[in-house]
Amino acid sequence: MTARRIAFVQEGLGTSVECTLLEDLAPRSAEFLWSLAANGASVGVNHAIWTGPELSIPLPVSSLPEGVSVAPVPLENATSYPRQGDVVLAWLAAGSARGLPPGDFFDIGLFYDEGARLLMPFGWLQANVAAQVAAHSLPLLRAIALDIRQHGSSKLRLQRL
């Protein structure tokens, strides 16, 4: 079976970051990303504050498109130290951390370099490595990160490949 792939598209830069879903290692997390990409979801992205070289896509359950499962995602292929090219998915239950919007909460992290750690103000976090950025897309991911650091938040559109 051919691995399923998605892309994070930053239309302003004409950039598309291709990723391969890690369905064998993180099946529920990969399915969440695949489902989100099914309807071309457009999501806000920021440079992370606490975790290092990460672009963060916060997704309160209330913001998810219809048809995307909002069921809790168990730990699978979890890490507290994402590597360059990792696409991680965190799920936090309502009330489990300070400073989050009400309700359950998802966060997608796109890691563009080494040296990341999931140490938040409320403590260590584990997130699931759900996909891997294609090697040829890493420079494009870094370009998006630089653009966001210089100009602020942006939008990415997810799409299936």
Predicted confidence band of residue 1 (pLDDT cuts 50, 70, 90): low
Q: What is the pLDDT of residues 75-106, one digit of tens each?
A: 999 999 999 999 999 999 998 887 777 889 99
- What does the domain layout of the chain look like in residue ranges? 5-160
51, two tokens: 């975790």
pTM: 0.95
| pLDDT reading at 11 higher than 90 | no
Half-sphere exposure of 97 (CA within 13 A, CB side): 19
Note the pLDDT of residue 115: 97
Specify the fold of 5-160: Cyclophilin (2.40.100)
Q: What is the pLDDT of residues 131-157, one digit of tens each?
A: 999 999 999 999 999 999 999 999 999
Q: HEC states along 11-36?
A: CCCCEEEEEEECCCCCHHHHHHHHHH
